[in-house]
Every structure is written in C-alpha cells, then in structure tokens.
Amino acid sequence: MSDTLAKNPSITDINRNLYDFTKGEKDVEKLASGLTEEIVRQISAKKNEPAWMLEHRLKSLKIYHELKVPNWGPDISGLNIDNIVTYVRPNTKMAAKWDEVPEDIKDTFERLGIPAAERTSLAGVGAQYDSELVYHNIQESVAEKGVIYSGIEEALAGPYAEMIKEHFMKLVPPTDHKFAALHGAVWSGGSFVYVPPYTTVEIPLQSYFRLNSPGAGQFEHTLIIVDKGAHLHFIEGCSAPKYNVANLHAGCVELFVGEGAHLRYSTIENWSKNMYNLNTKRAKVEKNGVMEWVSGSFGSHISYLYPMTILNGEYAKAEFTSITFAGEGQNLDTGTKILHNAPHTSSVVSTKSLSKSGGTSTFRSAVTVTEKAHKSKTIVSCQSLMLDDKSRSDTIPLMDVRCDDVNVGHEASIGRIDDAAVFYLMSRGLSEEEAKTLIVNGFANPISKELPLEYAVEMNNLIRLEMEGSIS
Amino acid sequence: MSDKLLEVKNYSVASTDDVPILHSLNLTIKKGETHVLMGPNGAGKSTFGSSLLSNPAYKLTDGRVFFEDEDITDLPTDKRAKKGIFLSFQTPVEIPGISLYSFLRAAVKNTGSPLTGKLFRKKLNETLKVLDLKQEYLERDLNVGFSGGERKKVEMLQLLMLSSKLAILDETDSGLDVDAVNIMLKGINEFQQDKTRGLLIISHNMHILNKLKIDKVHILVKGHIVAEGGSELIQEINKDGFIHFETQAGDCNV
Amino acid sequence: MNTSLNANKLPTLTWNHFKVNHKEIHLSNEPDTAVSPKIITNNSTAVLKDSRTLDDLTFSGSDKKTETYILQNASLTKSIIVPKNNTDTAPLIFDLNLQPADKLTCLLDIVLEENSSANIVVSVSSAAESTAQYADLIRIHAAEGASLKLTCLQLLGKAALSFNNIVACLENEAKVSVLQIPLGAETALASAIMDLRGYHANSEIRSEYIGHLTQDIDLNYVARHYGKKTLSDIKMTGFLSDSSKKTARGTIDFHRGCKGSIGNESETVLMLNKNARNKSVPLILCDEEDVVGTHGAAIGTLDEDRFFYLKSRGIDENSAHRLFLDSAVSRLKGLLPDMLAAKIDNYNKEVLFNESV
C-alpha cells in the first residue's frame, strides 16, 4: 500500500496514474472471443446456476442476435462485439475476508482506497474484479437487522433464490435493447441487496467495479430490493486502466423501492477512456416511495446511460441529479427517463454537462406522463457549459404528456464560462486556470454536495485533473 | 326572508393534510353591514376568507355556512360565487391565455343579473373611469405582468362589475401606495352605496379602516374569535397590538 | 398512388418508440385540381412571376424527398420578387380557397433583394366539411439588410391534410419573421427551417394552434446558426382540447463559427382535455463555445390556485375552456389583416364553437 493512502484513508489524493496501473493476467482462463450459444452454456455451467437462468440466458442470446444497434446516439461501430472476450474470471473464489483476497487483486483495490473507505465510512462493501465478485463484506450490526448484501450468484443458491427469480430482469427485460439482451445472456457477478421492511441502513453500502483485462467486458447485475418503509443509500464506483483495445461494460441495475421506502443510488463512474459504457439502470417506485439518483460520469470513450425511474404508486417521487464531463476522445450520451404512471407522482431532474478538448456531451431525456398520472408534477432542468471551441454539447429532451391535469416544466441553457467572472477572479490574483477550475467546481457543486464527502473530494479532483492544462 | 347575509355556525376548518386552522367560529353579517376581521399573522384570517369560497386547499371539519339563510356548506366555489359572494385576493394569480375583457364578460354572464352586451360595455366604461383604469388593460392577459397596484384595481373592477352581495376583501398587510389605497376606498365606498350588500374586510391597514364606516370588529387569534366589538377595538389594537388578545387565546387552548 | 414521406424530421434522432423522429404522411400523386389564388394587395412594387427563381440556392436541412414531391406536383408556382431598397409593407395576401375535395400543391419563392422589406400572408381555407389535401414549399432568400414578415394561416376543413413548409436563407443583417397558424385540418403539419448564414441575421418563428376534435398537429422548427452574432427565437403557444394531439420539435442548432449568437426557444401548452396528448422535443445542438442558448417549456393544466380564482368569480371549468378559446381567437385576429380575421371568426363559428369545448 502506498504511504499516501495509508495516511489518507479516503480517496483524497488520487491522480490519473492511480487508475491507470495494470495487473498482469496470470493464470486467468479466458473464453474464446465472440458470442455463441456454446459460450453462454459454458458460462452457465461454470456457475452452477438454476435451470431457469440458463433458459433466460439462451432466450436473451436469441433476442440479442435479433435486435439492431440503436440508430440514434453516439457511433459504436468501434465496438466489434465478435472480438470481445465476454468472460474473464480471475483465479479466485469469492472471499469474505480481505486477507484471503489474492495479493495482486488486493493491491489493486488497496490502491483505489476501497478497504480503507470501508473501515471508515461504509456499512458494507462489494468489489468486482473483471467479471467476478472477489470480495464482499457487511458490517455485523447491519447484517443483524436482516439486511442482505451478498454476491448475486451466491444469493441465487441461498434462501433468497425465489425472490431473485421474481425480480431478475423484470424491470429491464432482455427485449429492452440489444445490450440488455447481451447482458441477459452473459451477465456475471454483481450484488444482491435486500433491506427488510421498516429497516434503516444508516451508513451507505458500496460496490466497486474494476475492469482489468484488455478487451474484456463487464456484465455485472445489481439487484436491490428496499422493502416497505426501509431506507438505503447505495454507492457504486467504477474504474478501469487504459488499454488500446475497446472494453465493454454492459451492466444492469434493477432497483425495487417499496411502499414508503427510500433509496439513494450514487455513482461515480470513471471508466478508462477506451470503455464502451452501455449500462442500463432502472428503478420502480411504489406508493409514497422515494428514489434518488446522484450520478457523475467522467470516464468512458462512449457512454449510453439513462437511468430510468418508473413511478408506479401514488405520491411516489424521483430525483435525478447528475453531472457529465466529456473530454478528449469522449462521447458521453447521458440523461434519464422518468415514467409517471400513478396519480400525484413527482420528479425533479437537474443535470449539468461540460464539454472540453473536443469531447462531446449529450443530455438526453424522456419524461412520460401517462393517462393514470393525474395531478403529477415534473420539472427538468439541464445546464451545459462549453469550455472551448473544439467541443460539442447537445441537449435532447423529450416530453410525452397524455394527461391534462398535470404540470410539466422544462428548462435548458447552454453557454460558456462568463469572461467577467474569470476576470473578476483573476483580478484577485488567481491564474486563469485556477479561476476556470473554481468556476467549473461551482457549476458542479449542486452534484458534489449530494455525494458522501470522500466521493465529493474524488469528483472535485477529477474535475481538477480534467481542467489541468486546459488553458492554451 | 331575514336580513342575514352570511352566517357561519360552529365553523371549523383544517388544511388538506389535517392541520386544524379555525376552531368553532360563529359570525353573522347582516345586509348593509361592514365587518372587519383582524388578528396577528398566522391567525387564520385569510384561511377564513378563502374557505368561505370553498378553496380546495382547506376542508371544513365541522359547522355550516349559510348565505341569505340558505345552507351553502356543500356548494362548490363557482356556485357560491354565483350566489353573490366575492373574494378579493391578496395576490391575484396570473392567467396567461385569458384576456381581462373575455374574463369579465364571462364572469358577468354568470351572475344572477347578467347584462346585455351594450349595458355591459356601458357599465364597464363607467367603472374603468371610477377606478382610473385605461381601456388597454382589457386586452391584456389576466393579471399577467400587472403591478401590485394594477392588480388591486382589477380586483376592485371585478367587485363592482359582478354586483356581488357580499364582498370579502383580503388585504395585504403592507405594501400598498397611497394611490392604491385611495382606489380601494373609492371602490369600497361605491360598493357600500347599496344597503342590501355586506362587506367583510380582512385587514391590518389602519389607514383604510379609519376612513370607513365599520359596524363590527372580530379579533381572530390562533383560529379562535377572542373578542368582538365596535370600531373602538381598532383603536385599542392600534395602541396595544394583539398581545392582550393573544394571552386570551392561550387560555382558549387550555 | 401515394407518396410516403417521413416529414418534419428531427435534426438529431432520439428513442424511436416515442415516434417523434419524424411524421409519416402519405400524399396523393393524383394531379392537382386547378385553384387560382386571389391576390389582394395595395403593394404595387413587388414583382410576381409564374416561375421558380430559387432553384440554385441550397437550403441546408431541407428534406430532399419533400422538396422533390412539391416540385413534381406543384400546379401553382409563383415567385415574389421585392426589388432592392423597396420597403412597402402593405400586406400582400395570397388567398387560396379550396373546394371540399381539392388537392393543391404550391411552390412559392420569395426573393427579397438588398434592404427591401415585405409583409406576405398566405391563407389556405376550405369549407368545414372537407377532405382536401394541401402541400406547399415556401422558399425564402433574404438578401443583406432585407426584412420579411410571413404569415401562414391554415383553415382547412375537418378531414383535410395540410403540409406547410418554409425554408429560408438569411444574409447579413437580414430578418425573417414567420407566424404559422395551423388551425384547421385533421392532420396539420407545419415547419420552418431558417439558415442564418449572414452576420447578425435574425429569425423569429411564432406558432399558434388550437387543437380540437381529433386533430393531429405536427410542428418542426429549426434555427441553424452559421453567421456570427445571429439571433433566433422560436415560440410555440397553444392549447389542446377534445382528443387532439400535438407534437412540437424545436431546434436551435449552433454551428462552429457562429460566435456571439443567441438562440431562444419557448413553448406553452395548455391541456384542456384528458384525452389530449402532447409531445415536445426541444433540442439545443451546440458546436460553438461563444453562444447562449436557452429553452423553456410549460405543459399542463391550470393549477389549483388559478382554477380557484376563476371559480371564485363564478366561472366553472367549461366556461374557463370557452374563455381560453375566445381569448385565443381574438388574439389571433389581432395578428391578421381584417379580411382574414373575418375568416377566423367564421372558422370559430363553424368548427371550434360548434364542435369543441
């Protein structure tokens, strides 16, 4: 472990190198490139999973071959799915004790500050290395409340198998889009969380995803069920070193928020800039339930990411707060979908996006208010900041309103950093770079203040890194 | 028919999320009378005025309301308005898409004594003059972009055009300039000419109250009527404020 | 035989299942019926021709297939040329009155030479019971310093189809203001695409509609900023009653180099019936740093406070709807020359008042 991290347990002093270290792929079994029924059967067989799951995988594979890649959004022709090794498994079984995790993997996570953060501020931690979950732990006091936090594959063999079967890919069916179908066929690893009725998990649970092998894919499945009146904050972090070949992340997150329950799902995504991030996240919220998304997208070469909330019960609420920062070589197409499907539901969407050094950032959203959603309210606001004249920023919102007694609001703005503000700060002795960094941090502030401290620090550091050398 | 205009009996009101606001109020306004409802901030004065027109933000938890001896407790807002109850708003809402003229025309059509096009036009012109309002206002969207004074004038314009029997004037506690106050006085005086009408003024503004003929004053504290009397009560409050009454209200809660 | 068109294309695509990426329509290939326009004007300086004049101009973003259909089918072709420095703004009214089953395809080229201005109105109407098909393409070239006000009023009958297309190219300091009022027809498409090529070119688009019966209104507006310090403003206002539906696409497209440009877009939709349906897709595409783009939309019904206010004056929900209609009709009348205002009154009496609300 490095000295810096020993002294600063949380992720305070990161730099780009920290994410870019790589580990040799020793003793790792790789499946042949390309996606066939044979591979899918092989994956299933190794996992000792129930028969319905194999069926599900094969059905998904068939749908995958039938569906076309989207005709909208960023170009993903650089992703040749036939050359992607869809299944990489480190040579280890899942460990419940940190000491039992193999040295090189442990070292990776230590350098990312994961166990340190667990010691200080988390109720439970799961860590996924390539396509397998390598580490899972939950604080005793939380486990005692009946809160389940384990690997989803492990849970499939346990007492919650039936519950998983009832919910697995019910929110995101394989027919949703091509990459959801891919996920359905080859998914591997991920977490399962169940919070029993009226139980509050005071400190956050966290999953950390790390993709280490070049040309690999990560297809973890996260299933979280927050039962009636329960509270949970779940944090997801992602990173990968940079290789010259494309990597693919096609994970799937399904969140069930019960009556009166409250779930906050925070993500800081910093995949390396060769990543195709085609992740699907979806939440269904019952009566009086609250779903909050906090999302920061910094990494990836290409992203298609639109976490969706289905407000399915009266007075259900959704909040979506996000920031996307697209730099050189990045085309990040992010946003959200909200479906108001019950009376008195409400949603607030607030997003920020930044474009720099030739990066393209697109905000895309769809708010649907169905015939059932009487007296519902929604407000979407998105702000975009252009940091130079080489970059691009698009705003593509959509509102589909099928009910009359509702209130739908939308506002968007785009522009650049105010010269007068930069001048003002420079007149107080700041360099131009410092001034702009400060302004960008201020722009991002509404999001960072929603994050736990160590993540807010990480985000601000990421912004600082992105802004470095931005003044020509 | 008696000379009672408005009567509330055992009138109790709560917010839609069940927070009690008004407790068993009893109050009668007779034809030709002008009443004043006073009280500290948050006493429930505006709630009382608004609930008399069945504002959906509140619900009646007990009691009945009578207008000209008819039980109107179960009537919705527009039916009560058609009976002749007028409520002026502290802050009238902006309604884009409806011009003031079409709005007035429709509102007058709905009253007990609708006017023909020609008579309507005549009365409108006269009233505009009384209130010193320009014709141009008629083409603008209802209250959209109107200043505070302009909104007040437009409320008065409606009061006079609608020939209501009972006017409930909910006044802001501050912020009206001298001109606006004078316009209000003009409007109220005009309204008081007809002795079959009644008036309930919800106000703090001593300037207005001193210049009007007042028959009865009700003091509302924490949702209870804690004192009633003639205009001498106004002077008392002018001098000592509501402190004396608030102590009484404390007793009520015991 | 029919021609199928993916009309009113969204400049950048989004999810297909919302069906907003284009509007599919089928236009008849039967020959046009002869409709001759009544041209009403006191303007003596504009030159009218029966031929096309703008074939050599490229309008970026104009849909080629639509263009081809109009050019091949147009039985009515006119050019209006406003000579240099001519600033007679007396309205020039094109009044097209269609018989119930007519089909008319129209190509109109409007050429404004340097520093000229004009006020042109195109009115298309028919009896209330009508299955007419009307399609047009209005091409505009506004030379340096020229200014145009163009109003398109559409009052076709209840079963008609209308497809009104405007493309414009604006040079330095030119200004084009378009007002589209697609009141009539069962299927009413309206679009305007503005190429802001010159320095400080300025485009303004207003769209006003009153969705009624089973009307399907489909709008597509694009302001393409190329020149420096160009300005655009798109404003769509309307309400939807009965089972009407409306799709509005509005795009501000900032191209690299359009430094100092400003684009605004706003939309207000009042929903007056539970069966009405509204889709809005307001895009801002931005490839240039030094710009300001804003968009705002408000969709829905009157909130409880506003309804309470109206009801406290004795106005129930039905009368309130009626009031919105009356106010909208009188506002639209105020925007048109007297002769056309009378047409709106007629339409109001025959269709809106009778059938709607």
Pairing of β B58-67 and β B70-71:
antiparallel
How many domains does chain C divide into?
A: 1
Contacts of A414 in chain C (CB under 8 A): 254, 284, 286, 291-294
Closest CA to C25 of C164, C166, C118, C193: C164
Closest CA to C161 of C109, C211, C215: C215
Q: What is the pTM of this model?
A: 0.84
Residue C112 lies in a domain: yes
Whole-number pLDDT of residue A33: 47
Dihedral sign for Cα atoms in the order A323, A326, A330, A331:
positive
**What tokens were used for A320?**
């979506």
Contacts of C310 in chain B (CB under 8 A): 78, 95, 103
Pairing of β C202-211 and β A280-285:
unpaired
Pairing of β C2-7 and β C23-28:
antiparallel
Cα(A300)–Cα(A249) distance, integer angstroms: 9
Work out the minimum CA distance from B247 to partner chain C, whole angstroms. Answer: 34
* Per-residue pLDDT at B138 exceeds 70: yes
Mutate to test the interface with C, among A280, A396, A416 (most CBs of C within 10 A): A396
Shortest CA distance from C301: residue in chain B: B95
Dihedral sign for Cα atoms in the order B90, B95, B96, B99:
negative
Query: Who's near C355: CB < 8 A, 6+ residues apart?
Result: C158, C212, C213, C242
Describe the crossing of helices A51-66 and A178-186 by its angle, rounded to 10 degrees: 150
Contacts of A344 in chain C (CB under 8 A): none
Dihedral sign for Cα atoms in the order B58, B64, B68, B70:
positive
Query: Which of the residue ranges A100-104, B21-25, B96-100, B130-134 has the most confident prediction, judged by mean pLDDT?
Result: B21-25
**What tokens were used for A79?**
């992703």
The neighbour count for residue A200, using CB atoms within 10 Å, is 12
Over residues A78-117, the pLDDT tens digits come to 776 665 544 344 444 545 555 655 565 566 556 656 556 5
Over residues C206-252, the pLDDT tens digits come to 999 999 999 999 999 999 999 999 999 999 999 999 999 999 999 99
Residue C343 lies in a domain: no
A459: domain range? 3-467
Touching chains A and B? (3+ Cβ pairs < 8 A): no
| Total length of chain A | 472
Cα(C297)–Cα(A410) distance, integer angstroms: 5
Pairing of β C187-196 and β C161-170:
parallel
Residue A472 lies in a domain: no
* Per-run averaged pLDDT (10 residues), chain A, 472 residues: 34 42 47 69 87 95 89 85 49 52 61 58 62 67 88 91 96 94 90 95 80 69 97 82 69 97 91 86 98 92 96 97 93 97 97 94 97 96 92 96 94 88 73 81 80 72 71 48
Over residues B176-201, the pLDDT tens digits come to 677 777 877 888 888 888 899 999 99
* Residue, of A111 and B157, whose pLDDT is higher: B157
Dihedral sign for Cα atoms in the order A146, A149, A153, A154:
negative
**What tokens were used for C184?**
């009539």
CB hemisphere CA count around A71 (13 angstroms): 6
Residue C318 lies in a domain: no
Residue B89, φ and ψ in degrees, nearest 5 = -100, 145
Dihedral sign for Cα atoms in the order B23, B28, B29, B35:
negative
**What tokens were used for A192?**
């399962």
Whole-number pLDDT of residue A28: 44
Work out the minimum CA distance from B146 to partner chain C, whole angstroms. Answer: 16
Whole-number pLDDT of residue A175: 95
Residue A103 lies in a domain: yes
Q: Is A461 helix (H, G, I), strand (E, B) or coil?
A: helix
- Residue C49's pLDDT band, with cuts at 50, 70 and 90, is very high
Closest CA to A214 of A191, A250, A248, A258: A248
Residue C120 lies in a domain: yes
How many domains does chain A divide into?
A: 1
The neighbour count for residue A43, using CB atoms within 10 Å, is 22
Q: Is A366 helix (H, G, I), strand (E, B) or coil?
A: strand
CA distances A390 to A304, C230, C288, Å, are: 22, 20, 7
Cα(A339)–Cα(C41) distance, integer angstroms: 52
**What tokens were used for C247?**
């799709």
* Per-residue pLDDT at C271 exceeds 90: yes
Q: In whole numbers, what is the pLDDT of chain C averaged over residues? A: 93
* Per-residue pLDDT at C257 exceeds 80: yes
Q: Above pLDDT 90, what percent of chain B?
A: 36
Identity at A29, one-letter amino acid code: E
| Total length of chain C | 357
Mutate to test the interface with C, among A71, A369, A394 (most CBs of C within 10 A): A394
Q: Is A152 helix (H, G, I), strand (E, B) or coil?
A: helix
Residue A134 lies in a domain: yes
Work out the minimum CA distance from A358 to partner chain C, whole angstroms. Answer: 10
Q: CA B32, B38, B42 angle in degrees (round to 5)?
A: 140
Work out the minimum CA distance from A423 to partner chain C, whole angstroms. Answer: 16
Least confident range from C1-5, C218-222, C251-255: namely C1-5
Over residues C62-97, the pLDDT tens digits come to 889 999 999 999 999 999 999 999 998 899 999 999
Dihedral sign for Cα atoms in the order B229, B230, B231, B232:
negative
Summarize the confidence of residues C255-284 as an average pLDDT: 95
Whole-number pLDDT of residue A18: 47
* Per-residue pLDDT at B78 exceeds 90: no
Least confident range from A234-243, C62-71, C254-263, C342-351: namely A234-243
Whole-number pLDDT of residue C55: 93
Rg of chain A on CA atoms, in Å: 21
Query: Which of the residue ranges A351-365, B225-239, C31-45, C312-326 has the most confident prediction, judged by mean pLDDT?
Result: A351-365
Residue C338, φ and ψ in degrees, nearest 5 = -50, -45
Whole-number pLDDT of residue C53: 95
Helices (H), A48-177: 51-66, 103-112, 114-121, 140-144, 152-156, 161-167
* Residue, of B11 and B178, whose pLDDT is higher: B11
Least confident range from B203-207, B237-241, C275-279: namely B203-207
Closest CA to A256 of A324, A378, A170, A132: A170
**What tokens were used for A97?**
């004790």
Cα(B221)–Cα(A239) distance, integer angstroms: 62
CA distances B220 to A137, B214, B248, C4, C347, Å, are: 61, 17, 11, 71, 55
Q: Which fold has domain B4-253?
A: Rossmann fold (3.40.50)
Yes or no, beta carbons of C313 and B92 under 8 Å apart: no
Nearest to C314 among B78, B93, B98 (CB): B78
**What tokens were used for B28?**
């009668």
C194: domain range? 2-301
Residue C308 lies in a domain: no
Residue A27 lies in a domain: yes
Query: Who's near C148: CB < 8 A, 6+ residues apart?
Result: C110, C112, C117, C118, C119, C120, C140, C142, C175, C176, C177
Question: ipTM for the complex?
Answer: 0.92
Whole-number pLDDT of residue A29: 46
Cα(A179)–Cα(B148) distance, integer angstroms: 57
Summarize the confidence of residues B132-145 as an average pLDDT: 87
| Total length of chain B | 254
Cα(B4)–Cα(B2) distance, integer angstroms: 5
